[in-house]
Structure 1
Amino acid sequence: MREARRGDRPRTSDEGPHRQLDQCSSPALWGEMVARVFGLEGVVEGHSQVSPASSRAVFVEDVREEVAPETSLAPGQRLEPVHLHGVEDTSLHLVLPPGRGAELVRLGWAEPHQFADFGTEYMVYGPRDHEELDVVVGLVEESLAFARSGEVPTSRA
């Protein structure tokens, strides 16, 4: 994915928790995103260790400990490379290599996490349609690959 996200960026919060304030997914599309993410091979749903109770952690089934602190949103705890925010927000936080994250920021898909410790933490905006849903699920897959290996994955697009 090398194409820019259409339109203006959504508004996001200036203070914690870091959340998306407009341009959110419809409840139905958000539900599809949740189903597709937790349908990915090798992931397990759980309670986020660092995000509000409405968030859903995406844990890696076969890797409980991080290979490096920058590959997790919850360093020193169970590996949590991604968490999905609730239906009132629809964005997600994930970890990616800094270069890839900077590219997504430039293209309008993401912004740096306001509480980043390592420069690998990003907010990806909630998808507004099925085309954007495909992109967002692809980014979740990239984050999972990064978390499993600690290495920059080869981009699929």
Structure 2
Amino acid sequence: MMSAPRPGSRPAVSTEGPQRQLTERSTPALWGQLVARVFALPGAEEGHSQVSPPTSRAVFLADRHSEIAPERSLAPGRRLEPVHLHGVQDTSIHLVLPAARGRELTDAGWAEPHQYEDFGTEFMVYGPRDEAELEIVVAIVAERLAFARGQAASGAP
């Protein structure tokens, strides 16, 4: 499945941890919509991230607490954390996808590898800049939740 290219250049991203988006962030209103839409996805449950700064929000799965394999979680060996949303001062998302799909999203300009990746499945997806990008980013998160459950990718743009 191919991804439509993200228009424009990539945002600046920190080179020191924690990895964060420095430019082209979502507006606070758009970030709020992102948070609301992500936690409205079926089975998504909000919590505190086990591996990200306190301003981040973990996306847990109500129907699965343990990982199928360590490369499907941002917090291997702990409660399954397939995604976390960074705070309004950052607006990017960390998630895990099959490595080939993550490379596809990277090539299309939507993502980049996580700076502290362990398995080649950890990626940063940039915060959406408008409503059209919001739809795409939410679809990517939904695809990620399916991956955490061991389901096939859903065809996100």
TM-score, length-normalised on structure 2?
0.97
Secondary structure at the counterpart of residue 30 of structure 1:
helix
1:53 and 1:99 map into 2 onto residues whose CA distance is 30
Query: 2:95 aligns to what?
Result: 94
1:152 and 1:62 map into 2 onto residues whose CA distance is 17
Whether the aligned pair in 2 keeps the contact of 1:97 and 1:152 (CA below 8 Å) is no
1:101-137 Cα offsets, whole Å, 9 max, x none, are 0000000000000000000000000000000000000
Query: 1:44 aligns to what?
Result: 45
Whether the aligned pair in 2 keeps the contact of 1:48 and 1:83 (CA below 8 Å) is yes
Name stretches of at least 5 consecutive residues in structure 1 with no aligned partner.
Answer: none
Aligned-pair identity in percent equals 64
1:68 and 1:129 map into 2 onto residues whose CA distance is 34
1:37 and 1:127 map into 2 onto residues whose CA distance is 13
Query: 2:155 aligns to what?
Result: 155
Offset at 1:155? 2.1
Whether the aligned pair in 1 keeps the contact of 2:20 and 2:90 (CA below 8 Å) is yes
Secondary structure at the counterpart of residue 95 of structure 2:
strand
Offset at 1:153? 1.9
Runs of 4+ with deviation above 6 angstroms: none
Query: 1:60 aligns to what?
Result: 61
- Aligned partner of 1:34: which letter? V
Whether the aligned pair in 1 keeps the contact of 2:112 and 2:123 (CA below 8 Å) is yes
CA RMSD of aligned residues (A): 1.1
- Aligned partner of 1:106: which letter? D
Whether the aligned pair in 1 keeps the contact of 2:34 and 2:138 (CA below 8 Å) is yes
Secondary structure at the counterpart of residue 149 of structure 2:
helix
Secondary structure at the counterpart of residue 147 of structure 2:
helix
Whether the aligned pair in 1 keeps the contact of 2:3 and 2:156 (CA below 8 Å) is no
Secondary structure at the counterpart of residue 111 of structure 1:
strand
Query: 2:132 aligns to what?
Result: 131
1:2 and 1:148 map into 2 onto residues whose CA distance is 22
1:32 and 1:127 map into 2 onto residues whose CA distance is 10
Name stretches of at least 5 consecutive residues in structure 2 with no aligned partner.
Answer: none
Whether the aligned pair in 1 keeps the contact of 2:136 and 2:156 (CA below 8 Å) is no
